[in-house]
Structure 1
Amino acid sequence: MPVLVVIPARYASTRYPGKPLVALTGAGGQARSLIRRSWDAAMQVGGVDRVVVATDDDRIRTAAEGFGAEVVMTSEACANGTERVAEAHAALGGGYDVVVNLQGDAPLTPHWFVEDLIAGLRSDAGAGLATPVLRCDGRALNGFLADRKAGQVGGTTAVFDRDRRALYFSKEVVPYTSVIYGDDDPTPVFHHVGVYAYRPDALAAYPGWTQGPLETLEGLEQLRFLENGHRVLCVEVEARGRQFWELNNPGDVPRIEAMMAEMGIE
């Protein structure tokens, strides 16, 4: 079953324009762009047949081609990463059984998150797509709550049923809990990791659906699948001592760099 990984990247981010080209300095003092670090993360995933960057911006294309990435140019009209991945997959002529959307703002994504995600989708014939979820420890949950108190979005949370079928995704912290957790305590809140593995038919259908009210309100592309009655499989992944954070706001840069230093990521 051939697997394609697409890294969608756009320059004109509403919250953080130019984000893919922002430099992140690793533990050894070497600065690399966000898109480069996302590419490096993708190249560590086992069982992948091809990795491409999908963008509509020549600055990102130039940067990506400069470090050896294959680039697919896509339309400026793509409303989100899933639409961009669908367009890139079509432009490449299809032929892949699993298409992974490794979003370009998650450079700390461990390779086993994606490997477990692909395995989860393959094991569930009824799911059109799968996405990873990571149980928050107290430190991660408190970080989410602090960001929301400051009027920022630190990450997305997910709730799902006993069969791991997604019930909802939100930029708010759900479910609500009044318990105070220590840094290393497990919590009932799951961080949605911004990676998706699609079956080609579900991916191809997505751009033809209009945005629903929930997707519009939350600004979360995966809600379009739920609003159109498609099953989204949540695959629980394990941190294995690794910290994970997405780059959503300028304030996330020092946070991610501190995590990289702590984990020894060059």
Structure 2
Amino acid sequence: MKTVLMIPARYASTRYPGKPLAELRQKDGSTKTLIHMTWEAALQVGGVDAVYVVTDDERIKSAAEAFGASVLMTSPEAANGTERCAEALTQVDADLVVNLQGDAPLTPPWFVEALIERMKSDATAQVATPVLRCDRQTYDMFVEDRKAGRVGGTTAVFDTNLHGLYFSKEVIPYIAPGKVPEPVPVFHHVGVYAYRPDALAAYVGWPEGELEKREGLEQLRFLEHGATVACVEVDAKGRLFWELNNPEDVPRIEAVLGA
């Protein structure tokens, strides 16, 4: 099974323009761009035949090529990373496409490897995505963002077969203040996807759904059109996972990096 990993990256982010080129301090005091760090994280994933940065922006293309990445250019009309991956797939051959979004440099390789393994072992799975049970620190970060009016990470709820029921930028399920149980019953949706080519082809043929539009979450288009999204529970193994969604997330990630 030929597996390619794509890193969709766009410059024109509403919440954080130029986010892929944001500089983050490293442990040694140097800096690296977000897209560079994500590319390095992608190279750690086993079972991948090729890694590409996928963008419509010449600034991102130049930066990526400068640190040695292969780049696939797509049109600016792509509404989200899934559409960008579908367009990029017309330029390469693959049996499985992994979408590692360009704002998640802290994604451990075993998160992605778990998706690849699920897709290899389950021929019925068309789309798979990781979910990570929140520890208390991560849950508190979600709540802090929402209290401050910031849209932070995404949470997921799923059925007993680990099929996604809903994804939201709100913290779901609701937990009354002061009554957070252990383990925390909230799952952080990790913004990584594995798709079969047929699933990507179907996706771009569907109109944007109302829930997708309101939440700004591309994976909801699959649910709104009756497709199954397999959720794969992963283990952070003691590492803090967080994406760079807002400028306020930079110090959070730098703290994890030890900067």
Q: Give the TM-score taking structure 2 as reference length.
A: 0.97
Query: Shift in Å at residue 121 of structure 1?
Result: 2.1
Q: Secondary structure at the match of 2:106?
A: coil
Corresponding position: 1:38 with 2:38: yes
CA contact (8 A) 1:11 1:20 kept: yes
Match of 2:212 in 1: 215
CA contact (8 A) 1:126 1:231 kept: no
1:161 alignment partner, one of 159, 162, 179: 159
Match of 1:202 in 2: 199
Corresponding position: 1:237 with 2:245: no
Q: How many residues align?
A: 258
Cα deviation digits, residues 111-156 of structure 1 (max 9, x gap): 0000011112222222210000000011111110110010012200
Match of 1:3 in 2: 3
* Counterpart AA for 1:162: T
Corresponding position: 1:19 with 2:19: yes
Corresponding position: 1:225 with 2:227: no
Q: How does 1:1-266 map to 2 (within 5 A)?
A: 1-92=1-92, 94=93, 96-178=94-176, 179-181=178-180, 185-261=182-258
* Counterpart AA for 2:112: V
Structure 1: gaps (5+ residues): none
Write the distance in 2 (CA, Å) between the matches of 1:19 and 1:181: 33
Taking only the aligned residue pairs, the percentage that are identical comes to 65
Cα deviation digits, residues 166-219 of structure 1 (max 9, x gap): 00000000011125449xx53000000000000110012211110011001100
Write the distance in 2 (CA, Å) between the matches of 1:124 and 1:159: 21
* Counterpart AA for 1:117: L
CA contact (8 A) 1:121 1:233 kept: no
Q: Secondary structure at the match of 2:157?
A: strand
Cα deviation digits, residues 44-93 of structure 1 (max 9, x gap): 0001000000000000000000000000110000000000011111122x
* Counterpart AA for 1:256: I
Q: Secondary structure at the match of 1:187?
A: coil
* Counterpart AA for 1:89: L
Write the distance in 2 (CA, Å) between the matches of 1:191 and 1:154: 11
Q: Give the TM-score taking structure 1 as reference length.
A: 0.95
* Counterpart AA for 1:209: W
Instruction: Report the aligned-residue RMSD.
Output: 1.2
Structure 2: gaps (5+ residues): none
Q: Secondary structure at the match of 1:134?
A: strand
